[in-house]
Chains A and B, each alone.
Chain A
Amino acid sequence: MLSMRTLRKVLLVAAFLAPNVIGFLLFTAGPVLAGVVLSFTSWDLLTPPRWVGTTNFVNLLGFYTDIDGSLQARDPDFWKYLYNTVFLLLALPVNIGTSLFLAVVLVKKIRFSNFYRLIFFMPSILAGVSIFYLWRWIFNPNYGLFNALLAAVGVEGPGWLTDPLWVKPALMLMQCWIGVGGTGMILYIAALKSIPAELYEAAQMDGAGPWHEFWAVTWPSVMPITFFLLVMGTIGGLQSGVESVMIMTGGGPNGASTTLGYYIYTKAFVDFEMGYAASISIILFFIILILTLINWKYGGKNVAD
């Protein structure tokens, strides 16, 4: 039997949690369950949904043997776009490395360091639709800033966003411009400031030069941050590219810049294949779930409770 006191307590907790929990159930938990169910259907929103079992997943991940005996993917686009998405993740190490370099320089007693930090931090705050339009304009082969800069040093730049070879590097370049002064740099600065000075003094007493000092003291001290950034960046990167790609390339040329996120968008809101789109998103969910579990297992101590 619940005592009056316990009942009051339960009601009290429930009252404070209610606004958030109701929203969570309606717009997150409910939709996730609906998404799982949806992924086993075929639905164009015009005719009633049809239950198709695992057909969507078989079509996405499955292979078949061609007439000539070769193994072919049922949905070659999916694998191509997965490759694109993973390829774009290569910007991440560059991003993290540059962030660390900037942070290391900025925590030195250097003049105007707050001003520099403000300038570097700015792109990550401004990032969004208008910045994507700006970069589409910058990459314009005839009138854009980027090819004008290249021309100044005697290089004839390609049509960045229309060339299948250059479209991914172009998007990665923009990602770096947005990202290097953002979360990574800020976290590194905070971490570097908290490294005890004695560690550096000890290293100097052992006769370590700045280079050795970095690898012996700084690098191990910021390792948790690096791990965190790598995992979070991968998780974010796997879902990314919907807005930037939609605005800058439309996924082209010939699918060379289509990411999984953009594939989901086009399947759902251009082709109206809701079930198929949902099943891609569920696969993405599983990949991210695995990464998150790895993060918890190996980086859990360092990430806030």
Chain B
Amino acid sequence: MWPIDMKTRFSKTSLWHLPLIGMGLTCLLPLLFMIVTALAPPEQAMKTSTAISEMIIPRHYRWENFVEVWTIVPFLRYYINSVFVALVITSGKVFTSAMAAYAFSRLQWKGRDVLFLLYLATMMIPGSVTMIPNFIIMKLLPELLSSGLPFIDWMGLRFLGNGPNAPGVGRFLGLDSYFALIAPGMFSAYGTFLLRQFFMSLPKDLDEAATIDGCNHWGIFTRVILPLSLPGITTLSIVTFIGAWGSFLWPLVVTHQEYMRTLPVGLQSFQGQYGTEWHLMMAASLLMLLPVMVIFLFGQRFFVSGITSGAVKG
């Protein structure tokens, strides 16, 4: 009896593969086009009436494109900036979020849940509202500090890479500083919310057992709660890193010096005066997407848990 059953089931479900394959192709074709362009010789990328097969299956393998990207613009500097900024933002955000999440989940105090809801509500404040004042603060900060505390070189002109011996590491504070690129991204209600969800799911007895063993709250936090919430920490780290890695608008606004740019801002360099060099633009874009791709393939479940535990319960 069962072979017939299997047969009908097979024919029934196999039809569903049609829309799925169609959708899969829709998702993949643009990415294939990106790869083909990135591997094309300059004159080939800008060629009219190419057959579709030539647009999605590489014919040319001009690997030099991937080399030129690093040589014709300060791509390495963009890459280093992006890695540095994204890593510091990620560790900073995980740290501040975990601390706050601990207070909002494992400590008992009056008004805790009301305050948490209020904090959560701030998530809906549009980024455009805070961006303008934040920019103005960053712009004015060095001048304000210079007039208040003149014994420190807040303007940091000698760090801006204009002079002969300027190291080009940016100011301490203000526009064109790593501080501006990093600091506003280190705090998040979302991160606190996400980790609180994980902390809440741990049994209460753990704290008591640790207290009996002579742990104070810092000990419970670092030696009990954090290690047990590793999936949550990983989820937040991955989501934050990807977000910081792709961040464009804020770095664009607060950096003017070439060497302070991050990758997403730096991609602009391939839009020349005489039109965009698409083969290089796509090669550079692929290099930028590479880490994201790797993290995604190995950590898909963390992206899923970032969405499901961050949005809706059950």
Contact between chains at B107 and A186 (CB < 8 Å): no
Q: How far is it, in angstroms, between the C-alpha of A111 and the C-alpha of B14 when the chains are bound?
A: 8
Bound: A135/B121 CA distance, A: 34
Contact indicator A243/B249 (Cβ below 8 Å): yes
Interface bin, chain A: 35 or more
Q: 0/1 per residue, B282-312, Cβ < 8 Å to A?
A: 1011101100110011001001100110011
Selecting from B40-48, B146-154, B159-167, B228-236, the interface stretch reads: B40-48
In contact, A19 and B100 (Cβ under 8 angstroms): yes
A32-B124 in contact (CB<8A): no
CB B169 to nearest CB in A, in angstroms, measures 23
Q: Answer yes or no: A217 CB below 8 A from chain B CBs.
A: no
Q: Which of B107, B109, B267 contacts A130 (CB 8 A)?
A: B267
**Please, how many angstroms separate the alpha-carbon atoms of A184 and B249 in the complex?**
25
Task: Decide if B48 touches A24 in the complex (CB within 8 Å).
Answer: no
| A126 vs B28: C-alpha distance when bound (angstroms) | 12
Is A200 in the interface zone, CB < 8 Å from B?
no
Determine which of A101, A126, A278, A289 lies in contact with B289 in the assembled complex, contact meaning CB atoms within 8 Å.
Answer: A126
Q: A31-B137, A134-B30, A148-B50 are in contact. Are A187 and B312 (CB under 8 A)?
A: yes
Do the beta carbons of A143 and B312 come within 8 Å of each other? no
- The answer to whether A94 has its CB under 8 Å from any CB of chain B is no
User: Nearest Cβ distance between residue B302 and chain A, in whole angstroms?
Assistant: 11
A135 surroundings in chain B (CB, below 8 A):
30
Report the minimal beta-carbon distance from A114 to chain B, rounded to whole angstroms: 9
Q: Cβ of A28: which chain B residues have Cβ within 8 Å of it?
A: 122, 125, 130, 187
The verdict on A108 contacting B27 (CB below 8 Å), with A137-B281, A281-B129 known, is no
Q: Does B23 contact A (CB under 8 A)?
A: yes
When distances are taken between beta carbons in the complex, the residues of chain A under 8 Å from B248 are: 128-129, 243
- When C-beta atoms are compared, the residue in chain A nearest to B100 turns out to be A20
Distance between Cα atoms of A125 and B241 in the complex (Å): 12
Cα A288 to Cα B95 with chains together (Å): 30
Q: Note all chain A residues with C-beta closer than 8 A to B91.
A: none
Interface assignment of B204: CB less than 8 Å from any CB of chain A? no
CA separation between A105 and B24, bound complex, in Å?
13
- The 8 nearest A-B residue pairs measured at CB: A23-B187, A130-B285, A128-B246, A31-B133, A16-B103, A34-B133, A20-B100, A129-B264
Can you list 23 A-B pairs with a CB-CB distance of less than 8 A? A10-B109, A12-B217, A23-B184, A31-B131, A32-B133, A34-B136, A35-B129, A108-B16, A110-B16, A119-B27, A125-B303, A130-B284, A137-B276, A137-B278, A145-B55, A177-B26, A177-B30, A264-B128, A265-B128, A268-B132, A278-B133, A303-B312, A305-B117
